[in-house]
Amino acid sequence: MAIPPYVVELRRHIGHALIWLPGVTAVVLRDRAGVDCPELLLVQRADTREWTPVTGIVDPGENPHTCAEREVLEETGVTAVVQRLAWVSASAVVHHPNGDLAQYLDHTFICRYAGGSAHVADDESCDVRWWPLDALPPMAERYAERIAAALAPPGEVRLG
């Protein structure tokens, strides 16, 4: 998995201890010509084989919405444009396969497809696909909740 250099440096000092990190989830939708059901861009994580929306860690000084667009391009080759912030939430403690412990302040964004052909673009994923919203693969509840928050009608940002 691609770990940001500042996190690698921090881990040199604290090992696998719990750290708090700002994160993003990008829920990217595109319309299909002649079909009423939009498609959702999902990645299959290389470490756990889970299907998830695109997620990532915000770099120091980076705005979360900019991070969401960057992560989508880096991981999938797709250009996406953030439309709105849908949910801000704290994750449970995550036990990464390498032993690292982390907890994330997640910013879930709804994004629209702007271009590009979806493909595995880095080592974080082993598959990238567009899925019809009415036929999504099984996924962890935390990701399903983020998708549901992003798909909710526009209004106030969901908190907690």
Query: What number is the average pLDDT over the span 78-103?
Result: 94
Per the structure, how many domains does the chain have?
Answer: 1
Residue 143 maps to a domain: yes
Q: Is the pLDDT of residue 49 over 60?
A: yes
Q: What is the pLDDT of residues 142-160, one digit of tens each?
A: 999 999 999 998 876 666 6
Higher pLDDT, 4 or 75: 75
What is the rounded CA–CA span in Å between residue 89 and residue 44? Answer: 22
Residue 19 maps to a domain: yes
Task: Give the domain extent around 115.
Answer: 5-153
For residue 47, what pLDDT is reported? Answer: 85
- CA-CA distances (angstroms) from residue 130 to 36, 125, 133, 142? 15, 14, 9, 19
Percentage with pLDDT > 90 across the chain:
84
Query: What number is the average pLDDT over the span 28-34?
Result: 86
Residue 160 maps to a domain: no
